[in-house]
Amino acid sequence: MTDSLLSVQLYTVREALQADLPGALSRLADLGFTQVEAFNIMGLEGLGAALADAGLTTPTAHERFVALEQEPIFERAASLGVRTLIDPHIANERWQTADGVKSIVDDLAAAAEKAAEFGLKVGYHNHAFEFETKVDGRSSYELFAELLPASVSLELDTYWVSVGGADPVALLGELGSKVVALHIKDGAITHDDKDQVAVGSGRMPVREIIAAAPAALRVIELDDSRGDRFQAVADSVAFLKAEGLA
């Protein structure tokens, strides 16, 4: 990882990547990024070369690996220089009971052991439903985090935490060093992806979130937006730099 803690989830500019992968990555480098968070690493052809040509690294990346054949996935991640591979979604039906949550933890722990053979760590990225689903009077995510071994890291999507009804700042205080990366996004705090906006333009307590996890990677992301997402990324970078947060 570089000295910078600033990154961007490539899913934000997925259409541009599909149209012109080298060009899209070059545009991100021109915004000052030295690292990005890749997604679909098994399907995005030419990613490694395009990253190298743009002078970018991908210390974290998203790819589903739980309950899948993991060796080729981990091999691909390692070849791209990924350090922490993050599973971006585990089906919500598995979060409905304590036994289901325990099975998720067991799967991630086993994956961490396998990933270590490739020099990788693994992590999990949340959505809102892990907080909305209750098990024995508390959120499934709370139980999950309590059971999670040190070998598995967390990437906290702070926006979806808020949509799910939890306080991301307080949660970061509880999770501590388990959180290695943050999804920094902003908006009206609704389930509608289109309500997401440039960081600093919505309702999220961005400064407080970063202060609560100052060593975590700060990954800008918009799942969608009513405006141009490349412009939203540029505006997000400008805000974070103006605030001394990037």
Determine the pLDDT at residue 122. Answer: 98
DSSP designation for 65: -
What is the per-residue DSSP string for 119-170?
Answer: T-EEEEE--SHHHHSEETTEEHHHHHHHH--TTEEEEEEHHHHHHTT--HHH
Q: Are 108 and 116 spatial neighbours (Cβ–Cβ below 8 Å)?
A: no
Confidence band (pLDDT; 50, 70, 90) for 174?
Answer: very high
Residues 33, 56 contacting (CB under 8 angstroms): yes
**pLDDT of 67 over the 70 cut:** yes
Confidence of residue 89 (pLDDT cuts 50, 70, 90): very high
**pLDDT for residue 17:** 96
Distances (CA, A) of 201 to 1, 24, 74, 149, 232: 28, 24, 37, 36, 10
Residue 186 pLDDT: 98
pLDDT at 1: 37
User: How confident is the model over 123-152, as pLDDT tens digits?
Assistant: 999 999 999 999 999 999 999 999 999 999
Neighbours of 163 (CB within 10 A): 21
What's the pTM? 0.97
The tens digit of pLDDT for each residue in 220-242 reads 999 999 999 999 999 999 999 99
| CA distances in angstroms from 24 to 12, 17, 45, listed in the order given | 11, 6, 14
